[in-house]
A and B are shown apart, each in its own frame.
Chain A
């Protein structure tokens, strides 16, 4: 019977060892292991889609973000992310006050465009005083002026196949250009504008000069700064790492940032 007993004893010893190991493991790193397990991440990430679907169901397609008055403006509008893009090219543009800056409209459009800042300023303008919400938790209220993105997309003739708009930027973080994207609901939203002015003055460099996106129903990292291009696409799979934005690709921020 020793042939039976021995394995059993080994089994007990092994089980005991496992228990001891589990006890010795810091409980907290166990939690982190759970947090990073692919299956857990997948389940937890369902929250993003539930939030997107429920918010879209609850709100009117064109439901507006709260607009404030000039009395509500933040005394200092905090800038975040890139405050001054690197490189000689951007510096040269800044030196000429972005006189030669152009923004390309490309992808699934009938008429690709290359717009100058003069073209942007010549379009019908929208001014809105809105709250900027950082994913980190702070908020600042600013006044923004610029053309609605929908007018630019109409001018370019976005094709029906386009499902997303990708925003290309001039600022490089860790050797990759910043980018963001949104679906057509937010792209065509009346408050989605390309702002070239803030608080009644030309947009400062720290806040994205010469042109930045305002996408008022989502968090700050969606508001791409230093815009160089707008691209209509059918899928985000082959843009960057495929998650639809710089931080989405790198540190797993949600693509739908309405919450």
Chain B
């Protein structure tokens, strides 16, 4: 109590908490495109799995049908479901090839009802969803590419600087990600090298690949643009690439969600809705 009675002793300094710094991180086109894509890619994936169910076999080359060798297939034996890669067969009863629907009925379509649009087999409806949202995806991507290139998004945010290309820098960034050591302060508002490469890879690589392999499956487009067949090595090769690229997008999505959760889901999601991002404070040891 003595201390309290003595007015001469100054109170111990309480470190003042700095006010959170907010930065405008995502511009409106990015936010709109992000959420439109979130819906579109989900619809494309689930309706695409429905279409795949109509013929759950993949081939390389110009042609491929049941009598031909499939490099990948999902199928059913008398009492199991399986996935086959080349000569390797993996039993997937209950999930792929043979599963039980909500009514308890056993089905032998490749992908289960919870993964497809609609939930029960309807190729026409699956195609209707897929071929409509293909327009949403393509138009959105085209507009976003133009805006990103002309509006400075690519130059300012996605452009990989010379220093970032150094293997050491990339390796350091990989190590930081592996240790879940995310940038704080100012640096958190900028994309790191792995983010830049992922976003550029998706916008200018994977999504165009999906669209063009999709178009190669169209007999009309093959007549209009015969080079599509040469580019991908045939309609069935294009179908295989389309399927593989779809799962690469799913992989991107999973890593993306994981990173959002690890980096602070509320702040991240809020910035993708309203645009403003709160900078995580610098680490004390570094301050």
Contacts and interface: CB of A to CB of B under 8 A. Distances in A.
B63 A55 contact: no
Interface stretch (A7-15, A138-146, A164-172): A138-146
B129 A134 contact: no
A176 interface: no
A46 interface: yes
Nearest to A189: B223
B123 interface: yes
Contacts of A72: 62-63
Contact of B119 (A28, A44, A259): A28
Contact of A31 (B65, B67, B117, B219): B117
Contacts of B135: 47, 50
B147 interface: no
B55 interface: yes
B236 A217 contact: no
Contacts of B65: 74, 76, 78, 134, 138-140
Contacts of B122: 251
B220 A136 contact: no
Given A66-B229, A136-B123, A219-B219, A35 B66 contact: no
B225 interface: yes
Interface in A73-121: 74-76, 78
Chain B CB within 10 Å, residue with most, of A32, A133, A134, A138 = A138
A66 B222 contact: yes
Interface stretch (A56-64, A152-160, A201-209, A233-241): A56-64
Interface string A196-217: 0000000000000000000011
Contacts of B235: 131, 133, 139
B52 A137 contact: yes
Interface residues of B, number: 45
Contacts of B123: 135-136, 251, 253
A251 B102 contact: no
Nearest to B101: A28
A183 interface: no
Nearest to B220: A258
Contacts of A134: 55, 65
A50 B133 CA distance: 12
Given A58-B221, A131-B63, 13 more contacts: A28-B113, A45-B132, A72-B62, A74-B67, A75-B67, A135-B127, A136-B54, A139-B64, A140-B65, A251-B123, A258-B218, A259-B131, A259-B221
24 contacts: A26-B102, A31-B118, A35-B117, A41-B128, A51-B131, A51-B218, A55-B218, A55-B220, A58-B221, A58-B224, A59-B223, A60-B224, A65-B219, A65-B223, A131-B63, A135-B54, A135-B127, A140-B65, A217-B220, A217-B222, A251-B122, A251-B124, A258-B220, A259-B221
Interface of B: 51-52, 54-55, 57, 62-68, 102, 113-114, 117-120, 122-125, 127-129, 131-132, 134-135, 215, 217-226, 229, 235-236, 239
